[in-house]
Amino acid sequence: MLHITNGSIAAALLEQAGMRGDVVAWNDVLHEGPVLAGLGPSGLRDRRAAFLASCGWGTTDDIARDFRRRDGFIERATDYDEIVLWFEHDLYDQLQLLQVLDMLPDALAPTISMPAVPGYLGLLSIDQIAPLFLQRQALSGSQRAAARDAWTAFRAADPRPLVEVLDRVAALPHLGPALARHLQQFPSLSHGLSRTEHQTMTAMAQGATRLGEIYQRAHHEREDAVFMGDAGFLYHVGALLRSTRPLIAAGASGPLTLESRIHLTTAGERVLAGEVDRVRHSGIDRWLGGVHLLGFGPVWRFNGAKLLLA
């Protein structure tokens, strides 16, 4: 058997629970950084390794080596009798699930199955794992087709297919809500902030100054499905600080940590009040899947129902 899951903590839990076979952690934050169309597995792997290294999450060589090892299990998929996919309901996991299913060949002899993970795998006890495994269900052709459809839309340079695909992915029950949340990471039509940026700045305006507290209030207390680890959160909101016309300022120099103290700049207060647009004031340089949001506009924005260039 081959067990594939989101990260190292979940992989260790599966091993401790005595799951037979090989256990692989996917370990990629696909909701941040480039995931371009037109790249094969090797090219995408290299591009992702370079991006993750640029975030300070390891060296390019080390990350690329880990990805090659990870992908090697997929390349040897026909060596297994069954492939079990242990993924949660949030955006982080659902994007990984799409990539895995896209990489697995269509004419695959092993059964591909998924346990219904209740909530977050890393919060379960070892005793809860075995019953989930025994209740796993084989993936259907319609589920695999929905995953391929969604992965293509996520990687496209034009993001409008992402909105259209939401009506076609019901076969994977958690995928629609996850992709809908991804759309909210595009700049808002009203103020140019992503949902994460807006929730972060709102927590700051309400008095939070330490980034650890801001992370808790802006993400854990505001999300139906928590999908950002602290490193991803720091990277995403760090764009508000890295701009030449920043919307937040830190009390000390150096990289942001959960202990950093930050505050809104005057411009940040104006953006949060809707008086100034984040993109037009500060510019943007962010990849969301296959979409590169760059410059001071027009860029793709989400108005709650559709994507527009504005």
- Indicate whether this model's pTM tops 0.95: yes
Instruction: Determine how β-strand 248-250 pairs with β-strand 262-264.
Output: antiparallel
Radius of gyration of the chain (CA): 20
Domain spans in the chain, listed from the N-terminal domain onward: 2-182, 188-309
Determine the Cα angle at 52 with ends 48 and 96, to 5°.
Answer: 55
Helix (H) / strand (E) element for 287: namely strand 284-289
Q: Return d(Cα 74, Cα 28) in angstroms, integer.
A: 15
pLDDT score, position 109: 61
Q: What is the mean pLDDT of the chain?
A: 96
Instruction: Kindly report, residue by residue over 196-239, the tens digit of the pLDDT.
Output: 999 999 999 999 999 999 999 999 999 999 999 999 999 999 99
- Specify the CATH number for 188-309; select among 2.130.10, 1.10.3470, 1.10.10, 1.10.15: 1.10.10
Q: How confident is the model at residue 9 (pLDDT cuts 50, 70, 90)?
A: very high
Q: How confident is the model at residue 108 (pLDDT cuts 50, 70, 90)?
A: low
The two structure tokens encoding residue 112: 């591909």
Q: How confident is the model at residue 61 (pLDDT cuts 50, 70, 90)?
A: very high
CATH 3.40.1360.10 holds for 2-182: yes
